[in-house]
A = this chain, B = another copy of it.
């Protein structure tokens, strides 16, 4: 999985019928030092992530594993809101204190 920050939303009304009711978030990837990368992903969201939160994004078939998503043509999914990222025993990120990088 990759670490990403929720930056916004994408709205599409004319789409595959199986996507009805799926919320689509625009995620920007973050590197292992906590910096934003130029890379993004539009992903489905089932955990209710909010703007600026750090999340885990899973790609490929993993996006269609959870109940109710097997038959939706998604290739990326937010699978968790991150509480903490710890690197070399140092806390890189904490949801309470945000990026301490």
Interface residues of A (CB under 8 A from B): 1-3, 7-16, 18-19, 24, 26, 28, 31-32, 38, 40-43, 46-48, 51, 56, 58-66, 71-77, 79-89, 92
User: Shortest Cβ distance from A45 into chain B, in angstroms?
Assistant: 11
New A-B pairs, 13, CB < 8 Å, besides A9-B85, A14-B81, A51-B89:
A1-B75, A3-B10, A8-B86, A11-B82, A11-B83, A14-B83, A15-B81, A18-B65, A24-B56, A26-B86, A28-B32, A32-B38, A62-B63
- Chain B: which residue is nearest A12 at the CB level? B80
Copies of this chain held together in the complex:
5
Q: Please tell me if the beta carbons of A40 and B31 are within 8 angstroms of each other in the complex.
A: yes
User: Shortest Cβ distance from A89 into chain B, in angstroms?
Assistant: 8
Q: Please tell me if the beta carbons of B80 and A14 are within 8 angstroms of each other in the complex.
A: yes
